[in-house]
Amino acid sequence: MKEMILVNPDAFTKFNGSMYSASATIGDWETFIAEDLVSYIDGHYRTIPDRMSRGLGGHSMGGYGTIRIGMKRPDVFSSLYIMSGCCLISNAGRAPANRGDAAPAAPAAPAAPAAPAGRGRGNGFANAGSAQAAAWASNPKNPPDYFDLPVKDGVPQPLIVAKYAANSPLVMIDQYVTNLKKYHAIMGDVGTQDTLAGSNRQLDQIMTDFGINHTFETYDGDHTNHVKDRFVQKVLPFFSNNLSFTAPKK
């Protein structure tokens, strides 16, 4: 392994996650990751302040953040690793029984906000619906949680459903093909028993169809049981092999 600095930002919110999105109520996490955090690290540590020496990676919601921010910011990062990305396609407005592929990490927004007592670390996916609503359908005039839901009184809300769809990477990707082709390296993986396998395979196929250079692997596992060893055996070597460890010539 080559020498690297690993930066692990805490992106938790009262709803257990920011979705790495730009929200009027819970904050602009896209800018925080791609600009504020990068600037801080470059200003305080022994980095090579160049896109070719920076990579972005994450698992589940972090995988979503990786492809979401990565599509928009090839000026900041040069390599992406998407581990079992969640929320690649929105299921907002569907009945719970039809959640299908996205159920564990991206359940449809709940009919009512999660109880305050359930908010906190270690609560798993219990508040994923509220996290999505706060990130993608924030409403400063709708207390106490300040978001709108895609289903109200059992009736889908077309505008809110559209907002969710607009934040789905499988929907967004067509607009960012040129950006993704600027990356030096992109890799993704997912466990074959992961209920998110279908949408991650779809992302792989879309990238292939658009001619975006990338690598994709599946492995025998579910959503969480091999994260640690995949990180050691795949993610770190990927960045070690693809990031530039030489300062660019001026």
Q: For 169-216, how does the pLDDT look when each residue is reduced to its tens digit (9 = 90+)?
A: 999 999 999 999 999 999 999 999 999 999 999 999 999 999 999 999
Q: Is 170 helix (H, G, I), strand (E, B) or coil?
A: helix
Task: Provide the percentage of residues in the chain whose pLDDT is more than 70.
Answer: 86
Q: Is 178 helix (H, G, I), strand (E, B) or coil?
A: helix
The torsion region of residue 124 among left (phi > 0), alpha (psi -120 to 50) and beta comes to left
Calculate the alpha carbon distances from 23 to 64, 116, 143 in Å: 16, 20, 15
**Chain-centroid distance, C-alpha 124:** 16
Looking only at the bridges linking them, the beta strands covering 55-59 and 79-83 are: parallel
As a whole number of angstroms, the distance between CA 100 and CA 214 comes to: 26
pLDDT computed for residue 94 by the predictor = 62
Q: What is the pLDDT of residues 78-131, one digit of tens each?
A: 999 999 999 999 877 664 433 333 333 333 333 223 333 334 444 455 588 999
CB 13 within 8 A of CB 134: yes
Task: List b or e across 105-132, with b for residues whose CB sees 16 or more CB atoms inside 10 angstroms.
Answer: bbbbbbeebbeeeebeeeeebbbbbbbb
